[in-house]
Amino acid sequence: MAEHSSVKPSQIWTKLSELTTHKIIIGLLLIIVLTPYTQVANTDLGPVMSLDSLDGDSVCSAQFNVSLSKVLNFNSQHNYNLLYLAVMGGCINGSDDGGTTYNQIIPTANNGFNVKQSVLEQYRTGELLSITSDSNRSEALYSILKRTRLKYGLNVSMSILCCRM
């Protein structure tokens, strides 16, 4: 029995063990570093906060137009792809009618064409971000297609890296 305990492993097995350990460490470090980039931030409150700025003004007022231009500038600066924007209420004789249906603001309504329905048919559920303001007076649809493609690409590349380890 004493002869078996004095046997040393061969150089090949020692080297193989070291390489395996290195690969596992590198793989875990890659997973730790790349995992945050594969997550879509669900806590992005920028679109909601921009819609909230439309809630305080009458649709007929000049201040509403100022707020609307600020919302559009904010979306442009932060690369949000705004596909549809609607606000509850409309103008009757220069005053807000306090309606209970959404009136399409962006893009401009054309002969009753329902852009919201068209957008919902064109994009899959995972490619759209549907936002309503805190008071439910405004609603918008944003395309997050680029973010989902990036997430998919990073998930695939991480899977390939892990499988090669």
For each of the chain's 165 residues, which pLDDT tens digit applies? Answer: 455 556 676 788 888 888 999 999 998 998 888 887 776 655 667 787 888 888 877 777 788 888 888 888 888 888 888 888 888 876 654 555 556 677 777 777 665 667 888 888 888 877 788 888 888 888 888 887 665 556 666 666 666 666 665
Do residues 125 and 145 lie in contact, with contact meaning Cβ atoms separated by under 8 Å? no
Does residue 123 sit in the same domain as residue 82? yes
Give a yes or no: residue 5 inside a domain.
Answer: no
Quote the pLDDT of residue 156.
66
Does residue 87 sit in the same domain as residue 122? yes
Does residue 27 sit in the same domain as residue 52? no
Segments forming the whole domain that contains residue 23: 10-39+149-164
The domain total for the chain is 2
Helix (H, G, I), strand (E, B) or coil at 152: helix
Does residue 85 sit in the same domain as residue 124? yes
Q: 126: left (phi > 0), else alpha (psi -120 to 50), else beta?
A: alpha
Quote the pLDDT of residue 41.
56
Give a yes or no: residue 2 inside a domain.
Answer: no
Does residue 54 sit in the same domain as residue 25? no
Give a yes or no: residue 14 inside a domain.
Answer: yes
Does residue 62 sit in the same domain as residue 112? yes
Helix (H, G, I), strand (E, B) or coil at 142: strand
Does residue 133 sit in the same domain as residue 154? no
What pTM, to 2 d.p., does this model score? Answer: 0.57
Helices (DSSP H) in the chain: which residue ranges?
A: 2-5, 11-34, 46-52, 62-77, 115-122, 145-164
Quote the pLDDT of residue 42.
58
Does residue 69 sit in the same domain as residue 110? yes
Does residue 128 sit in the same domain as residue 156? no
Give a yes or no: residue 3 inside a domain.
Answer: no
As a whole number of angstroms, the distance between CA 28 and CA 95 comes to 62
Give a yes or no: residue 139 inside a domain.
Answer: yes
Do residues 140 and 82 lie in contact, with contact meaning Cβ atoms separated by under 8 Å? yes
Does residue 70 sit in the same domain as residue 103? yes
Does residue 93 sit in the same domain as residue 77? yes
Does residue 74 sit in the same domain as residue 134? yes
Do residues 60 and 95 lie in contact, with contact meaning Cβ atoms separated by under 8 Å? yes
Give a yes or no: residue 1 inside a domain.
Answer: no
Do residues 48 and 134 lie in contact, with contact meaning Cβ atoms separated by under 8 Å? yes
Nearest to 97 by CA among 87, 105, 112, 107: 87
Give a yes or no: residue 4 inside a domain.
Answer: no
